[in-house]
Structure 1
Amino acid sequence: MARNYSPTVRRRRLGTQLRRLREDAGYKLSDVGDALGWARAKVGRLETSELKTVKNGDLDALLRLYGVEDPAARESLHQLAREAKHKGWWWRYRDVFRGREPLPDFEAEASQIRTYEVATVPGLLQTPEYAEAVFRGGRYTSAEHIQRQVEARMERREILQRHEGQARLWAVIDEAALRRPIGSAEIMRTQFEYLLRIGQLPNIDIQVLPFAAGAHAALGRPFTILDFPESQDPTIVYTDSVGAGQFEEDTGEVAQYVATFSDVQGASLSTVASAQHIEGVLSEESE
């Protein structure tokens, strides 16, 4: 499958469109269930994307009921259903990524990613050596598993440099992440040089939130906001935890994260000043 679309996002988009068609047709969930001889729960699961596979016959039955006769409109919905069945590249790393819907599933189709990181350089901006050192700092695991973790993290970076549909990344990095030694001095030097280099790409902005900023709105709370090119795909927020990542979709909660990111972005150094700050830390590490 194409690397620049997400089966989960397509499945959610299909569910959103089916719900809209049902509402426009004036049906309640129970009405659809009665008309098609389905359990009400089945209709709800289709609309909330809980069903990973939507049968052609079920989709055709819904479209007939909702009065969708335009061939192009019908084919568009069937195309979404087909794409939702595919597995993304991250499926190969299902032993690495946690959760039924891992972060790369959504990153694949995100048009804009805003991330704030406290303790480490954001995963999308890590070098292989730095990523390996991060994973070695966790719970003991085999060298083979750590290598798979590193490979998976490097695969994620593809969204920033692919030929079509590059994601826009705004990364705010707390100064603590730059000061914390991860691995050797050589690993840190290579990581800083990579940040300075990739930060010159037109679709990537890197800002440093300095210690001098003091207390701020996101103190100690890393998070990532993902926006999508289609207006019907709502903005979501990802927060990581020891057990597994969490996604927030409530519009009110998402709005608070968006406001918080704006606050920390405003308290951060500009992209130019941030690059100079990273150069300064790099010079200190080289002394």
Structure 2
Amino acid sequence: MAAKRGPTFRRRELGKELRRLREKVGLTIEEAVAGLGFSETKLGRVETGHNSLPRIEDLVKLLDRYGVEDLDDREALLTLNRDSLSRDPWLPYRDVMPSGMPMYVGLEADAREIRAWQPMYVFGLFQTENYVRSLFMTGKPVEETTTAFVENNVRLRMERKHLITRADGPLMLRVILDESALRRVIGGVDVMREQYEEIERLAARDNVVVQILPQRLVTYRADINFALLDFDAPVDSVVQSDIPGSISVTDKPSDVWKYNQRFDSMRDEALAPSATAGFLHQLAREIE
């Protein structure tokens, strides 16, 4: 099956190649844009794939400055730029996303597999409508939360869940949940019991593995949630992690290696996937 390549993915690949070409000729961003009619900020955003594209005429000027003379190489980059103009499906929800989230959501749609750790709340793609709604209603003071803001976040989360069940190559998921995330009552007892049932339902799928890290275990726990996204070769993996007020996404090899080690350490200590359903049933009985 051919690898999926959405507009976010293509923008990121274009940016990486332009950064590589600039560094190959030894230019800073300031030197690269000098006299070309667009800003250092614009080129910086293009190179990092943050929903920004150069105009065709600006891209041609950059390729000239970088000494790209091979016609096939030039056409490949111009085609990548044109293909990146496609409308992202998440665009209507951009205003309710934190910084960095649009890029992550775009890459998430192109990923082959995601490995995630969630210590605070139920993993996003597992959340029910009632859980999401309650989470956003209680996450901020009432005066800072509008009905439109909450409902747009609910719709976005539900649309993203289709990645798990899509007919054309469903997303492979391996998720580790901390027991404390499952015991944190969001929206009341009924909402939590419904949420436990949803996790069990998804965990029964062939493309989903869920493990729980019990509170009684004295073992390593990463202090922030993160997700490792793997793509069809030869594309590099990326890691997403939460930082205050925004989402960080990087493919820096040392960071990807570090989070791989962290995930593997917690995976090895967590309960076996076969124990997940029984653990959720026990939580449903205990919750008050």
TM-score of the pair, normalised by structure 2:
0.82
Partners of 1:8 and 1:101 within 8 A in 2: no
Equivalent in 169, 172, 181 of residue 168 of structure 1: 172
**Which residue of structure 2 aligns with residue 28 of structure 1?**
26
**Which residue of structure 2 aligns with residue 69 of structure 1?**
71
Aligned pairs for 1:261-276 (under 5 A) are: 261-276=263-278
Unpaired segments of 5 or more residues in structure 2?
none
Residue identity matched to 2:234: S
Question: Whole-Å Cα distance in 1 between the matches of residues 187 and 71 of structure 2?
Answer: 61
Question: Whole-Å Cα distance in 2 between the matches of residues 54 and 165 of structure 1?
Answer: 32
Residue identity matched to 1:253: D
**Which residue of structure 1 aligns with residue 148 of structure 2?**
144
Partners of 1:13 and 1:232 within 8 A in 2: no
Shift of 1:194: 1.0
Question: Whole-Å Cα distance in 2 between the matches of residues 29 and 43 of structure 1?
Answer: 16
Aligned pairs for 1:146-225 (under 5 A) are: 146-218=150-222, 220-225=223-228
Question: Whole-Å Cα distance in 1 between the matches of residues 157 and 273 of structure 2?
Answer: 24
Shift of 1:18: 3.8
Shift of 1:21: 5.6
Residue identity matched to 1:223: F
Partners of 2:12 and 2:49 within 8 A in 1: yes
SS in 2 for 1:29: coil
Question: Whole-Å Cα distance in 2 between the matches of residues 189 and 161 of structure 1?
Answer: 22
**1:154-194: per-residue Cα shift (whole Å, max 9, x none)?**
11112222222432111100011222222232211211111
Aligned pairs for 1:1-287 (under 5 A) are: 5-20=5-20, 27-29=25-27, 38=36, 45=44, 47-49=47-49, 52-60=52-60, 65-70=67-72, 74-99=74-99, 101-102=101-102, 103-139=104-140, 140=142, 141-218=145-222, 220-241=223-244, 243-285=245-287
Question: Whole-Å Cα distance in 1 between the matches of residues 41 and 61 of structure 2?
Answer: 13
Provide the aligned length of Structure 1 versus Structure 2: 277
Shift of 1:226: 1.9
- Superposition RMSD on alpha carbons, in Å? 3.2
Partners of 1:13 and 1:233 within 8 A in 2: no
Shift of 1:16: 2.6
TM-score of the pair, normalised by structure 1:
0.82
Residue identity matched to 1:161: T
Partners of 1:166 and 1:203 within 8 A in 2: yes
Question: Whole-Å Cα distance in 2 between the matches of residues 173 and 165 of structure 1?
Answer: 24
SS in 2 for 1:106: helix
Question: Whole-Å Cα distance in 1 between the matches of residues 42 and 186 of structure 2?
Answer: 49
